[in-house]
Amino acid sequence: MRIGLALLLFLVVPLVHAAEAVWEDRPEWAEQFRERGVSGTALIYDEAANRYRVFDRKRAESRFSPASTFKVFNAMVALETGAVKDEYEVLRWDGVQRKFPDWNRDQSLASAMKFSAVWFYQEMARRAGQQRMQHWIDAVGYGNGDIGGGIDRFWLSGALRISAVEEIGFLRRLAAGTLPFSARSQETVRRITIQESAPDYVLHGKTGWAMHEDIRRDQDLGWYVGWVERDGKRWFFAINIDMAKGADDAPKRVAIARALLASAGAPPAK
């Protein structure tokens, strides 16, 4: 009897886990974009329900430059290749004045993630090198897999492209610890992507901002991706918007995500 039950579970459980996710169009989410004067897509995956909620599925499945969302991947490559020892090792600022004041200081893997300091992660990519970077891109299956355009530019003005759907697929594997990187590298990056840690939830996130002249568009592109953990459940999100007004539009990525996460039952909002 026990053998029969065990066999039944062996056969049935993989089928349950392999169940196809449900997709739910949310046209009413258009209001979040409309009231802020931007266009874009929003995708939220409810892991417990195995359900995607989406506004503009076609755009969610379309690939764009990852911009600084690639820092999440780049950080794991840096750790795996020894480009940096850990999230605390400091690189000295080169003294070049850049447009964001928080970049103009010494940085670590963690601080450069927090402030999205491009120069630090460019140095990480140079230290990793083209061959090793391509190895990890291929091993993970990240976006279109194309790192043409320069080892320190391919995710900014080069050929790399990824969709909102693929961003969530990548983040789900990071959250579960099933990427081909070491457990240590994945745990470190999960830790340094925490943006809020409240008593009842944890928010992991990373923004991205691709300049229109770099990606050959008529508008800048903004990303916000990540996930929320609450009561043993996880909600993953990927938002991208057209930022015709540049810096004025940048905060809208996060505002839209927070509003939609709250509506999906995952804090935050505030």
**Token pair for 254:** 């996060």
> Left (φ > 0), alpha (ψ -120 to 50) or beta: where does 185 sit?
alpha
pTM of the model: 0.91
Bridge partner residues of 107 (DSSP): 91
Q: Give the pLDDT band (50/70/90) at residue 19.
A: confident
Chain-centroid distance of CA 103 in Å reads 21
Active-site option among 68, 108, 111, 163? 68
Helix (H) or strand (E) holding 240: strand 233-243
Q: Per-residue pLDDT for 188 more than 90?
A: yes
CA terminus-to-terminus distance, the chain: 54
Residue 89 CA to residue 112 CA, distance in Å, equals 11
Look-up of token digits 């065990």: 6
Strand partners, 41: 240
Categorize the per-residue pLDDT at 268 as very low, low, confident or very high, splitting at 50, 70 and 90.
low
What domains appear along the chain, each with residue ranges and CATH number? Answer: 20-263 (3.40.710.10)
Whether 263 sits among the annotated catalytic residues: the reply is no
Report residue 243 as tokens.
């930022």
